[in-house]
């Protein structure tokens, strides 16, 4: 493994959701710890599953991993970090300010921006505060999916630049009062990230064209902010020895070979490792220790008809959705489970039936146009691009609020709008505008990976609480985006997962989070099922057998209704293949 040779103190693993970052980060931590190095494994993903992988509860504190000497782990919990951050600011005011003012401070600090600042403080402290990390020779960061990670790694520079120039905090849902004290910590964090002797970034990808294109963009964006010490790991490559006698395996091998041959030029110069696809789920120490080892695949019997559940198809769910005539359909789940493809399939099938549909995404890394490869009557497509909507929001504020200010006031307002928190408000407003359309047409939304979506819902909840507080005692009726999400007559949430242990657990956790917010998921979709594809290759047959217990768990324990979509020989790209996917009639 080239990326492990002469490993520096800080190792970051990043990439598109579902490519195996957590597994590789955990396996790396085990390898270094069992080699005698003292290691701290840190997850910065708001939807972390490091604890699930090791089978222990970790949470927002440094926790030894009992089964691995020299290894400890930490999951930065954004909500717990935000609570501590709020208490640091609000605590001193209790007893000295009127209760109403204290409540106002607490409400101002309830937004997702405060959550981001608080988690970011913990992240930078791990880079620069020797009192926290002096006991460890290596600190390994298992990061959130790409868009969220780029945001995190850009933040030291963004906050430092803002503190150098900005003087106000009117645009921010959480005040910036505590940030100025952190100026030196942020500067030191920027220096640590840019130092190749201290920091190495490992880009994790799959042998898929879309994933490799995204990781190339990540490479260039992070190199531009100084993270140039980068390595590439291509994970889960199907050995071509599996292709004999199995059309599915042969098609997958051919597809992966073509993707690697067409790898973007920007990635070709990077040191690169390939990890073969394993027959087992990467959960537990024994499995993780085998990730970097070459192991022969045992034979497995073909699946018999009796082995497979009589699982509903995606078409049956679309029938029920179409019956309503309009509404919001949100696809949520872990990164890499195929939300974009399934959102596009649902949207084109509804549009084909003559229903007006708006297909959109809140995922910074999603590319609906690449999935559709064409147009269709009754279908409009958009993307909530954080950069675009933030710039539009800044311009709107300058044109409206700024029009009433003198030159100095406009300059101060412009500085304030450079706060990274401005993006939170802009994305929330764009999200709210889109979902309002669902009263007269179908809006199908491909959401960002779990953690990012929960932060967006957090902002939606904060807005709802503020409106409810303002309307308290009033007889006027009001509606907020959160109320629309909570109304099953207006919104159907489809949780997308794979028939694997970790994605199913994460989908179940997401379902619990949504229910606590008063949002009841409508259905689950198990995507890319190997079992449903009836493979003949030994390795794929073993993976298929491992899926059956997970499909049964979804059907019997988790989902109010569900559908299973098979792994396909050809990628479902283009309107025609998406229609076939939705109708359950895709052939090789």
3-state secondary structure 259-287: HHHCCCHHHHCCCEEEEECCCCCCCCHHH
From 14, 16, 22, 361, the catalytic residue: 22
Distance CA 576, CA 165 (A): 52
Task: With beta carbons less than 8 A apart as the criterion, state whether 111 and 462 touch.
Answer: yes
Instruction: Look up the CATH number of the domain holding residue 255.
Output: 3.40.50.300
Please give the average per-residue pLDDT across 378-396, as a whole number.
87
pLDDT of 365 reads 62
The answer to whether residues 26 and 158 belong to one domain is yes
From 18, 174, 236, 327, the catalytic residue: 18
Distance CA 490, CA 498 (A): 27
Judge whether 588 lies within some domain.
no
From 199, 361, 502, 537, the catalytic residue: 502
Is residue 23 part of the annotated active site? The answer reads: yes
Q: Which of 255, 289, 323 is the last residue of a domain?
A: 289
Judge whether 587 lies within some domain.
no
Which of the listed ranges 88-97, 274-283, 360-369 does the model predict with the highest average pLDDT? Answer: 274-283
Is residue 439 part of the annotated active site? The answer reads: no
**pLDDT score of 398 more than 60:** yes
Judge whether 85 lies within some domain.
yes
pLDDT of 10 reads 92
Q: What is the pLDDT of residues 42-67, one digit of tens each?
A: 987 766 678 777 878 887 789 999 88
Place of tokens 């999951």: 75
pLDDT of 173 reads 33
Judge whether 133 lies within some domain.
yes
The answer to whether residues 226 and 329 belong to one domain is no
Domain count, the chain: 2
Q: What is the pLDDT of residues 421-453, one digit of tens each?
A: 677 677 777 878 888 888 889 999 888 755 555
Distance CA 114, CA 420 (A): 11
Judge whether 296 lies within some domain.
no
The answer to whether residues 28 and 160 belong to one domain is yes
Residue 165 structural domain: 2-289
Which of the listed ranges 118-122, 130-134, 180-184, 462-466 does the model predict with the highest average pLDDT? Answer: 130-134
Is residue 21 part of the annotated active site? The answer reads: yes
The answer to whether residues 277 and 383 belong to one domain is no
**pLDDT score of 495 more than 80:** yes
Is residue 382 part of the annotated active site? The answer reads: no
Judge whether 318 lies within some domain.
yes
Distance CA 538, CA 544 (A): 10
Is residue 453 part of the annotated active site? The answer reads: no
Q: How confident is the model at residue 462 (pLDDT cuts 50, 70, 90)?
A: low
* Percent with pLDDT over 70 in the chain: 80
From 14, 16, 17, 20, the catalytic residue: 20
Judge whether 484 lies within some domain.
yes
Dihedral over Cα of 119, 123, 124, 129: its sign: positive
The answer to whether residues 18 and 77 belong to one domain is yes
The answer to whether residues 282 and 333 belong to one domain is no
Task: With beta carbons less than 8 A apart as the criterion, state whether 415 and 164 touch.
Answer: no
Q: Which residues have C-beta within 8 Å of that of residue 270, sequence separation ≥ 6? A: 203, 219, 230, 231, 232
Distance CA 418, CA 162 (A): 7
**Residue 227 Cα distances to 44, 153, 193, angstroms:** 18, 9, 6
Distance CA 267, CA 213 (A): 9
Please give the average per-residue pLDDT across 395-418, as a whole number.
83
The answer to whether residues 275 and 380 belong to one domain is no
The answer to whether residues 85 and 218 belong to one domain is yes
The answer to whether residues 113 and 8 belong to one domain is yes
From 15, 16, 17, 21, the catalytic residue: 21
**pLDDT score of 306 more than 70:** no
Is residue 502 part of the annotated active site? The answer reads: yes
From 15, 17, 23, 114, the catalytic residue: 23
- Among candidate residues 436, 425, 412, the one with its CA nearest the CA of residue 459: 425
Judge whether 299 lies within some domain.
no
Specify the range with the lowest mean pLDDT, choosing from 90-94, 154-158, 392-396: 154-158
From 45, 77, 121, 246, the catalytic residue: 45
Dihedral over Cα of 283, 286, 289, 295: its sign: negative
* Percent with pLDDT over 90 in the chain: 34
The answer to whether residues 228 and 345 belong to one domain is no
Place of tokens 């607490």: 106
Q: Which of 289, 324, 344 is the last residue of a domain?
A: 289
The average confidence (pLDDT) of the chain is 81
Is residue 168 part of the annotated active site? The answer reads: no
The answer to whether residues 66 and 153 belong to one domain is yes
Task: With beta carbons less than 8 A apart as the criterion, state whether 95 and 82 touch.
Answer: no
The answer to whether residues 366 and 274 belong to one domain is no
Distance CA 449, CA 505 (A): 15
């Amino acid at each position: 493994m080239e990326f492990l040779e002469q490993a520096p103190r800080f190792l970051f693993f990043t990439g598109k959701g579902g490519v195996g970052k957590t597994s590789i980060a955990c396996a790396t931590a085990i390898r270094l710890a069992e080699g005698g190095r003292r290691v701290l494994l840190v997850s910065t993903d708001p939807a972390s599953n490091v604890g699930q992988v090791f089978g222990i509860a970790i949470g927002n504190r440094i926790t030894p991993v009992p089964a691995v000497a020299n290894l400890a782990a930490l999951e930065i919990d954004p909500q717990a970090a935000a609570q501590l951050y709020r208490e640091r600011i609000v605590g001193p005011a209790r007893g000295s300010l009127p209760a109403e003012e204290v409540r106002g401070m607490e409400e101002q600090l309830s937004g997702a921006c405060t959550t981001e600042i608080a988690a970011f403080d913990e992240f930078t402290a791990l880079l620069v505060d020797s009192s926290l990390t002096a006991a460890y020779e290596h600190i390994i960061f298992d990061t959130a999916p790409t868009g969220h990670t780029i945001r995190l790694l850009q933040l030291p520079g963004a906050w430092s630049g803002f503190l150098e120039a900005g003087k106000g905090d009117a645009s921010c849902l959480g005040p910036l009062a505590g940030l100025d004290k952190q100026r030196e910590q942020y500067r030191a964090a920027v220096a640590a990230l840019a130092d190749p002797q201290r920091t190495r970034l490992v880009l994790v990808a799959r042998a898929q064209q879309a994933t490799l294109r995204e990781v190339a963009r990540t490479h260039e964006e992070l190199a531009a902010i100084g993270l140039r010490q980068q390595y590439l790991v291509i994970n889960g490559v199907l050995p071509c020895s599996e292709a004999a006698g199995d059309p599915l395996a042969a098609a997958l091998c051919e597809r992966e070979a073509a993707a690697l041959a067409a790898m973007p030029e920007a990635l070709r110069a990077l040191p690169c490792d390939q990890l073969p696809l394993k027959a087992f789920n990467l959960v537990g120490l024994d499995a993780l220790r085998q990730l970097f080892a070459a192991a022969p695949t045992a034979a497995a019997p073909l699946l018999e008809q009796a082995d497979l559940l009589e699982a509903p198809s995606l078409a049956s769910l679309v029938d029920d959705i179409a019956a309503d005539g309009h509404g919001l359909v949100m696809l949520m789940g872990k990164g890499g489970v195929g939300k974009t493809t399934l959102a596009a399939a649902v949207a084109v099938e509804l549009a084909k039936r003559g229903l007006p549909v708006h297909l959109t995404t809140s995922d910074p890394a999603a590319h609906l146009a690449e999935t559709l490869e064409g147009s269709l009557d009754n279908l409009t497509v958009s993307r909530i691009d954080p950069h675009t909507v933030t710039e539009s929001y800044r311009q709107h504020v300058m044109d409206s609020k700024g029009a009433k200010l003198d030159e100095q006031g406009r300059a101060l307002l412009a500085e304030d709008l450079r706060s990274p928190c401005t993006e939170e408000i802009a994305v929330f407003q764009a999200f709210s505008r889109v979902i309002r359309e669902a009263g007269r047409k179908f809006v199908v939304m491909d959401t960002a990976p779990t953690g990012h979506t929960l932060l967006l819902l957090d902002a939606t909840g904060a807005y709802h609480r503020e409106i409810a507080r303002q309307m308290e005692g009033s007889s006027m009726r009001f509606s907020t985006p959160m109320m629309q999400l909570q109304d099953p007559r207006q919104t159907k949430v489809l949780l997308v997962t794979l028939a694997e242990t970790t994605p199913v657990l994460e989908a179940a956790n997401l379902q619990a989070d949504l229910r606590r917010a008063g949002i009841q998921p409508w259905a689950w979709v198990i995507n890319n099922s190997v079992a449903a594809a009836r493979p003949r290759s030994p390795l794929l047959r073993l993976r298929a057998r491992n899926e059956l217990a997970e499909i049964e768990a979804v059907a019997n324990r988790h989902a109010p209704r569900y559908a299973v979509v098979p792994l396909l020989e050809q990628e479902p790209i283009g309107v025609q293949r998406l229609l076939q996917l939705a109708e359950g009639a895709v052939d090789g």
